[in-house]
Structure 1
Amino acid sequence: MIFLLLLGVPVALGHLYLWRRLVVDTTRPRTVGRRTGTVAIIGAFLVLMGALAVSRSVSPEQAKFLAWPGFVWLALLFYLAIALGIAEIPRRVLLRRATAAPVPAGAGPDPVDPVEVVPDPSRRLFIARSVAIGSGIAAGGVVGYGMTQALGDPKLLNVPVTLDKLQTSLSGFRIAVVSDIHLGPLLGRSHTERIVRMINEQEADLVAIVGDLVDGTVAELGEAAAPLRDLVSRHGSFFVTGNHEYFSGHEQWIAELDRLGVNPLRNEGLTVAGGIELVGVNDVTGKSYDDGPDFDRAFTGRDTANPVVLLAHQPVQVADASARGVDLQLSGHTHGGQMVPFNFVVPAQQPSVAGLSKVDDTWLYVSRGAGFWGPPVRVGAPPDITVVELRSAG
């Protein structure tokens, strides 16, 4: 409810702005066009709020009927508001010029008598409609492109990372990293099958799923997640919780993934390949569910002569990682911003938006994720699956 209220206010203001620019400015008063446009804007607002309200209160199979139109419209609303906002300055300049010849406001011989400038209604309508059409084409084009990115195959990335402690014999060890799959009303079993196929084609040494696998319960999405049992790698598949697991029944999902052969790491670690310490910590959201991250427990018994690879959903956890000498942290959560310009907002909460960076002596790799949340749209942040290749310094 709090989420809906916080999002409902800006969404309502956005619809009010669109109604003003796309309906009021482009139609004459008391016409069928204005009434139709008003009803359409109100209807779009209700569909969007309905999609937000039911996405967690009904099954994904039922939610998809509102989720598809509602979330696509959310993306259109966002980019329409941006396009119309950008067009405000040229629109106002054109409107200043779209006036009829000055008409004297009073009689008399004084040449400097005040005058009234009378706008030309037909030219105002033409300008308003032109801006509306142009903005609609621009927003529609951006959203259409973004949907092809979000719903298409994730990009396959190869990222080499040099670790000082890595044994020469383990140089070339490959970890397939995937995050933010977000199974739910808009992404189902076929999405999982595609990800599993792409990962298996890489013949990786290890698979790391770093959180936000689902947006729904095991009863609702267990079948969609089932293809994960087919993941193949030399040293196994591993999973850590993301914030969305805690909204979806994390204990049941931990048990389900264990049953599928994907090993959950819950504030614990193990030695793989005889020389790499693989550690996983719970997401920070788990604190509200008595299941938060516990770095001290996770690092107990680890061999400090070996490099440590940490699986942690949120990049912000790198502060604790670097304090404990982690060599490489693998994260997700940010979606790379998902839709420009949100990539400029992410740094306010996270130390990295996407890609490889370094925090103190710790390498941090952040995946943009293989799915999406909310709108089935990605602009400037295509989905990815990453193969991180560990290399020795020697």
Structure 2
Amino acid sequence: MTIPWWVVPQSAALAIVHFYLWWRLVRNTTVRRRKLGTIVIILLWASIPAALITMHVWDPSVAGWFAYPGFGWYALMIHLTLLLVPAEPVRAVIHRRSAPVDAARRLVLARGIAVAAGIAATGVTAYGVINAFAAPAVERETVHLRRLSVSGFRIAVLSDVHLGVMLGKSHTQRIVDVVNAENPDLIAIVGDLVDGTVQQLGPEAEPLRGLRSKHGTYFVTGNHEYISGVEAWVQELNRLGIRTLRNERVELPGFDLAGTNDLTGEAADVGKTLGGRNTNRPVVLLAHQPVHVHDAAKHGVDLQLSGHTHGGQFVPVNFFTRMEQPMLSGLQTFDGTQLFVTRGAGFWGPPVRVGSSPEIAIVELVATARE
């Protein structure tokens, strides 16, 4: 595995956030133990890049010793900051109206705000952790397609399983059991299956061999596969009975199933994927990132199935994701192409989901009534 380029700038940005936390939680609330508090803040900051780096370098069994505390603090830090920053105007108003405010009262105010924010942040983070590790719910969506000759075709859509340091074999088996209980016609895994090499995570992915459906299981790459060794994983998934669609398509009863590479890896070529097809048949495109939909619409794709967004996962990640992608979850239409985005069955980074629970989607294709 390779360390993503964004680890360094993200760590630098987090250093600024930690300076703010030091100022509010150490400088403004302590008198005698500031040196100890400063050391704690530095160590907490260092735990995050340590988690980001070790998860991409070391075996998951070892990296877990860094990932759990690092990512746990990452989540708590975000919620703590989001609660402290809005309190700044309140603090300023109190100081202005109570001027002059002696040092003792300032200390009491600072400590009160810090304690209240700490309790609230801990509660939100704890809820998010429980939600993130919960069993994925089954969500159902009906999609109407023109020219579809076989109505009632059911596709189980999986995405963003993120097998790795914190999600392993038991998580995989849980997903397989849920999917098989639905008895789908086809299973589509739309990227970000793993966060680690085949050597590291082969045993964790082994239960995928047990996936069962009438027309098989298909996979398209996500951005994390290109960090984890895409060629080795394509071979491993083939061994497990899962076919990877790499800018190619297959004919299924009533429609064509196409799959394109992720934008961050090999060249994604929707035109090549759909070239020469029978346009009298509807086409369903598997593409990891929802943003593919704009290209898909130009090529007359009827339905695109995607993941990548985790439904936003938690604030403020959802805002940044929404800036890059046309939608976070659900079903919408873009220039005649329907786009369904699943929230995904796992998580990445901080083990937290707030406002976006994990899911496995069952998409049922229904023929549009002829006029």
1 CA distance for matches of 2:226 and 2:301? 25
Shift of 1:216: 0.7
Are residues 1:4 and 2:7 paired? Answer: yes
Q: Distance in 1 between matches of 2:22 and 2:355?
A: 28
Structure 2: which amino acid aligns with 1:21? R
Residue 102 (structure 1) aligns with: none
Deviations 1:338-365 (A, max 9, x none): 1123323223211111110001111000
| Selected match of 2:249 from 242, 248, 269 | 269
SS of 2:215's equivalent in the other structure is coil
Amino acid at match of 1:82: L
Give the CA deviation at 1:186: 1.0
Runs of 4+ in 1 over 6 A off after TM superposition: none
Q: How does 1:223-302 map to 2 (within 5 A)?
A: 223-273=203-253, 275-286=254-265, 291-302=266-277
Q: Would you say the 8 A contact 1:269–1:302 is kept in 2? A: no
Q: Which amino acid aligns with 2:235?
A: A
Superposed, 1:179-258 pairs within 5 Å as 179-258=159-238
Q: 1:125 aligns with which of 103, 107, 113?
A: 107
**Contact 1:174–1:387 (CA under 8 A) maintained in structure 2:** yes
Give the SS at the match of 1:345: helix
Aligned partner (choices 127, 130, 151) of residue 148 of structure 1: 130
Deviates most, 45-54 or 1-10: 1-10
Alignment-mate amino acid for residue 228 of structure 2: S
Structure 1 gap segments, 5+ residues each = 100-116
Q: Does 1:375 align with 2:354?
A: no
| Residue 333 of structure 2, aligned match among 353, 358, 362 | 358
CA contact (8 A) 1:24 1:34 kept: yes
Structure 2 CA distance for aligned equivalents of residues 57 and 98 of structure 1: 53
Separation (CA, whole Å) in 2 of partners of 1:4 and 1:280: 30
Q: Where does residue 22 of structure 1 map in the other structure?
A: 25
Normalised TM-score (structure 2): 0.96
2:49 maps to what in 1?
A: 49
Partner of 1:103: none
Q: What is the number of residues matched between the two proteins?
A: 366
Deviation at 1:301, TM superposition (A): 4.1
Say if 1:160 and 1:391, in contact at 8 Å, map to a contact too: yes
What letter matches 2:89 in structure 1?
A: I
For residue 308 of structure 2, give the secondary structure of its aligned residue in structure 1: coil
Compute the displacement of 1:90 (Å): 1.4
Q: Unaligned regions of 5+ residues in structure 2, if any? A: none
**Alignment map for 1:97-136 (pairs within 5 Å):** 97-99=97-99, 117=100, 119-136=101-118
Q: Distance in 2 between matches of 1:36 and 1:296?
A: 60
2:319 to 330, 341, 344: 344
Q: Give the C-alpha shift of residue 98 in structure 1.
A: 4.4
Q: Secondary structure at the match of 1:143?
A: helix
1:39: Cα distance to partner?
1.7
Larger gyration radius, structure 1 or structure 2: 1
Matched, 1:68 2:71: no
- Is the CA contact 1:98–1:120 (under 8 Å) kept in the aligned structure 2? no
Contact 2:271 2:299 in 1 (8 A): no
Contact 1:95 1:127 in 2 (8 A): no
What one-letter code is carried by the residue in structure 2 that aligns with 1:76? L
Work out the CA distance in 1 between the residues paired with 2:307 and 2:126. Answer: 25
Deviations 1:163-206 (A, max 9, x none): 01111xx2111000010111111111111111111111111110
Counterparts of 2:38 and 2:147 in 1: how far apart (Å)? Answer: 65
How many angstroms apart in 2 are the aligned matches of 1:35 and 1:66? Answer: 24
CA deviation profile, 1:267-319 (whole Å, cap 9, x unmatched): 1111112x210011111112xxxx32222332234222111010001111111
**Normalized against structure 1, the TM-score is what?**
0.90
Alignment of 1:66-105 (within 5 A): 66-99=66-99
Deviation at 1:48? 1.6
Deviation at 1:36, TM superposition (A): 2.3
Give the letter aligned to residue 13 of structure 2.
Answer: P
1: CA distance between counterparts of 2:289 and 2:313?
Answer: 15
Report the counterpart of residue 300 of structure 2 in structure 1: 325
Q: How big is the shift at 1:83?
A: 0.5
Is the CA contact (8 Å cut-off) linking 2:297 and 2:334 kept in structure 1? yes
Q: How far off is 1:38 after superposition?
A: 1.6
Superposition deviation, residue 70 in structure 1: 0.1
Are the counterparts in 2 of residues 94 and 127 from structure 1 also a CA contact under 8 Å? Answer: no
Measured in 2, the distance between the counterparts of 1:390 and 1:52 equals: 40
